[in-house]
Amino acid sequence: MRTRVDKIRKRIPGFIMNNESLMKAFTVVTYPVVMSENYLKERVDDCAEKIVRRSHKSKTAIKIDIIKEFYCRYIQPEEYMRWEFENKSLKERCAYWPDRIAVRKMKSPQNNVLSGNKYDRYLLFKDFVKRDLIFVEHDADWKVVAAFQEKHSPFVAKPYNGSKGRGIMLVDEHNLKEFEHELRSSKEGYVLEERIIQGEELARFHPQSVNTIRFASMMDKEHHRVNAFALLRTGAGESFVDNVGAGGVAALIDTNTGIIISDGICGDKHYQAHPDTGIVFKGSVIPAWDELLKIADAVHGMYPKQKVFGFDFAWTAKGWDIVELNPAPSFATYQAIIGRGIKEMAKEAGFSMEPPK
């Protein structure tokens, strides 16, 4: 939510913002103005429709509450839906750490020492990358791309500063021209990667995608590394990416044992087994878990001033391959699976709870 709703939020007096009853009344008054923005209206309507189907509550009341939660706590419509906020008390709602705040905190200079782009971060942990990759700018010599395609067809192309699986392409001779158009029209270029061939242990969940482990590593106040959370992320349907934001399914992993301890989740849907393959999530064992933990220790130990690392690991015939390293991983799916907020955990790790200005 941005633009008009942000402007309205900034003008809310403190005595209203700190009073839930007054905030509800304020939201009712400003509701028509906020809902006049098509981008916001579509998101609120879509989430409210899904919530009404499961709760049978008033759709208008849900939409007003969604907007109020953004005003009060920066909760996005999708977070409200996934976290089942219609059933949460005020105390429970206040315990959640929304991405709008969490990402800013994790990327602040005192918590983040990493470069903001994918390729520079690849260079930092190149010893743990087990595939070929290059960076090409939008005006790069096409012979470089053609040579990479000839060597690694199909290859994966990722926007230089992309996130949440958006804009990723699987490129071969059939869509090479399409990729050339995307590259030339981009402002920042693409990272080209040799396609990962994953091991059967994770491929069985969804063979069409490279299924990864999202592993969040955090430094506490005493600069000791702790395992924040771990998720198995799988694709769904014909998608070759595993991001939950792109329709993938995620399940929680016990960070000590490497055993999956939850059902799968996608949006507001829960699955005991993968919807495409029927492989049951809970109880499945992730291979070579101790090796994964050793890599996390080694990489985070190299950058102890980095507050959080969000590793994406792929399991291959060569062992664990780091797909990406993110300085500000989303905690939204983790909070959705465990059914409670983790703001207290973030506070204990040394994050300020002051809202962004």
The pLDDT score that the predictor gives to residue 82 is 95
Whether 182 contacts 169, CB under 8 Å? yes
Q: What is the pLDDT of residue 1?
A: 47
pLDDT-derived band at 20, boundaries 50, 70, 90:
very high
Q: What domains are there in the chain, each with its CATH number?
A: 4-94 (no CATH), 106-126+197-348 (3.30.470.20), 132-194 (3.30.1490)
Interatomic CA distance for residues 236 and 241, integer angstroms: 8
pLDDT of residue 356: 59
Per-residue confidence (pLDDT) for residue 6, from 0 to 100: 81
Question: C-alpha angle 233/244/241, rounded to 5°?
Answer: 70
ω into 13 cis (within 30 of 0) = no
Query: Band of the pLDDT at 149, cuts 50, 70, 90?
Result: very high
pLDDT at 98 over 70: yes
The pLDDT assigned to 40 comes to 85
Q: Give the residue-averaged pLDDT of 82-96.
A: 96
Q: Is the pLDDT of residue 2 over 60?
A: no
Residue-wise pLDDT for 119-135, tens only, equals 777 888 888 888 999 99
Distances (CA, A) of 1 to 20, 76, 99, 332: 20, 7, 12, 16
pLDDT in tens, 37-67: 877 899 999 999 999 999 989 999 999 999 9
CA distance 145 to 136: 8
Contact status, residue 110 vs residue 104, Cβ threshold 8 Å: no
The predicted-structure confidence for 208-224, as pLDDT tens digits, reads as follows 989 999 999 999 888 88
The answer to whether 265 and 335 have CB atoms below 8 angstroms apart is no
| pLDDT for 240 beyond 90 | no
357 pLDDT more than 70: no
> How many Å apart are CA 104 and CA 110, to the nearest integer?
11
The pLDDT value recorded for residue 21 is 93
Res 8: pLDDT? 87
Torsions phi, psi for 215 (to 5 deg):
-120, 115
The proportion of the chain whose per-residue pLDDT surpasses 90, expressed as a percent, equals 65
Of the two residues 117 and 187, the one the predictor is more confident about is 187
Higher-confidence position of 71 and 117: 71
Mean pLDDT of the chain: 90
CB 252 within 8 A of CB 261: yes
| Single-letter code of the amino acid located at 185 | S
* DSSP at 195: P
Confidence of residue 110 (pLDDT cuts 50, 70, 90): confident
User: What pTM was estimated for this model as a whole?
Assistant: 0.87
Tokens of 299: 């990489």
Quick check: helix, strand or coil at residue 182?
Answer: helix
Q: How confident is the model at residue 140 (pLDDT cuts 50, 70, 90)?
A: confident
| Spatial strand order in the sheet of 319-326 | 269-271, 264-266, 249-252, 225-234, 212-219, 308-316, 319-326
How many C-beta neighbours within 10 Å does residue 330 have?
22
Higher-scoring residue by pLDDT: 20, 34: 20
**Average pLDDT of the segment spanning 258-268:** 94
Asked if 250 contacts 233 with a C-beta cutoff of 8 angstroms, the reply is: yes
Identify the pLDDT of residue 261: 98
pLDDT score, position 243: 61
Buried b (16+ CB within 10 A) or exposed e, 48-62: bebbbeeeeeeeeeb
Say what the pLDDT of residue 193 is: 92
Tell me 354's DSSP state.
P
Handedness of CA 343, 344, 349, 355 (dihedral sign): positive
